[in-house]
Amino acid sequence: MPTAFSSDALKRLAFTLAIGLVGVHLFVWATLPVPWILGAMSFAVIAALTGLKVGVPKPLRNTALAIVGSMIGTAFSPAILDHLSTWLAIIIYNYLYLITVIGAGTFFFCRICRQDVTTAFFSSSPGGLMEMPFLCEAVGGEARFVAMVHSVRVVIVVLAVPIYIRFAEAASYATKGDVPRLSADLAAIDAIILMTTAAVGYLVAKQLRVPAAALVGPMLAGVIVHLFGWTEAKPPEVVFSLAQLVVGVSIGGYFVGVSILSLKRITAYSLVWTMILLLITGGFAYLGTYILEVDFIVLLLALSPGGQAEMALVALFMGIEVPLIATVHIFRSMSIYAIVPLMFKIFRKPGQQ
């Protein structure tokens, strides 16, 4: 049996999913938003920080991400072509936001946290939990510091933004926080189309070395089949819910072996930076309502520096411009992974670390 699904790995997986389900039920009871991912994530992170071993095998996590990607792809329709000019303006605005965030973050981590330029630069770039530490280490930065900063960022943003929307914004958004009403039945031909589309999308994206291939590949493939009208099917509700559960508890794995007390300095810096980041995000979203004439909540979700899959799921559950928000996050992620390392090499002064 593969190592990823050894006896110990399966026991850890069962324990992790059980913890996640407790969080799901608590969030449902408290009427908190997006319970299947946020509840599972919260309890998995708490379990990891208390020393419990939680984790999800990578093949299972990739499968869950593919299901999430396929579900996001179903939100696209030919009608979105009428809004491309608005989308382009938001994507450009997102790049201005990205430059501001990286500039402010690099200053914060260099001057306040006394980190070297390399570590500061990659700590401030709102990329993925796995990719940013790797990129930082590749050019001589402190990967552990970067990993902790991004872990704290993703958890707080993914929790704070939907809870803010649920309780602080208009009731029209608060009522959209339920699980999507998906059909429990799926015709055999539709099931084959969805599975084949997701598999082909993942393999092509992986071959092209697209960041987050397990999510982006199936999503883009799903966009194609739905835009052309080849199917209108969506993953069954139970499958989609379980996929969210797996994605949620997977985040807890990033905190295994992390002691808040032993890393209190890094944790404190990470918390302060995340608060600053949320203020910048809120400011850009508010300003964008006047410049772009787009709803504040839409811009808040599009700009929020949470995980790519997580923020798309929040938008999906709340029924808030899923195609737009998913597209903006994809453009930002690809830009970060492709352009940010090049920017760093160009602008870093000779001899700087």
Would you list the domain boundaries of the chain?
3-347
Query: Are 183 and 194 spatial neighbours (Cβ–Cβ below 8 Å)?
Result: no
pLDDT number for residue 181: 46
Structure tokens at 7: 């006896």
Identify the burial level of 352 via C-beta atoms within 10 angstroms of its C-beta, where 0-12 means exposed, 13-18 middle and 19 or more buried.
Answer: exposed
Residues 6+ apart with CB under 8 A from 118: 136, 139, 140, 141, 344, 348, 352, 353
> Which amino acid belongs to residue 267?
T
pLDDT in 10s for each residue of the chain, 353 residues:
446 677 888 889 999 999 999 999 998 898 777 788 888 888 988 888 888 888 888 899 889 888 888 887 777 766 666 667 778 889 899 989 998 999 999 999 999 988 888 888 888 988 766 567 766 776 777 877 887 888 788 888 888 888 888 777 655 454 444 444 445 456 677 778 888 888 898 899 888 877 678 877 888 888 888 777 777 777 787 888 898 899 888 877 777 776 666 667 888 888 999 999 999 999 999 999 999 988 899 999 999 988 777 787 778 777 788 888 888 887 787 677 666 666 666 655 555 55
Structure tokens at 252: 């807890």
Query: Are 169 and 297 spatial neighbours (Cβ–Cβ below 8 Å)?
Result: yes
Q: What SS3 class is residue 55? A: coil
> Which amino acid belongs to residue 16?
T
Q: Rounded to an integer, what distance in angstroms lies between the CA atom of residue 88 and that of residue 76?
A: 16
Residues 6+ apart with CB under 8 A from 191: 233
pLDDT number for residue 101: 93
Tokens 């700087």: give the residue. 352
Count Cβ atoms below 10 Å from residue 231 Cβ, excluding itself.
18
Tokens 């009427």: give the residue. 31
pLDDT number for residue 327: 82
Q: What is the DSSP string of 255-322?
A: GTT--TTTTHHHHHHHHHHHHHHHHHHHHHHHHHHHHT---HHHHHHHH--S-HHHHHHHHHHHTS-H
> Which amino acid belongs to residue 202?
Y
Residues 6+ apart with CB under 8 A from 110: 116, 117, 120
Tokens 């597209």: give the residue. 327
In terms of pTM, does the model score above 0.85? no
CATH fold for the domain made of 3-347: Na+/H+ antiporter like fold (1.20.1530)
Structure tokens at 133: 């530490």
Query: Are 40 and 248 spatial neighbours (Cβ–Cβ below 8 Å)?
Result: yes
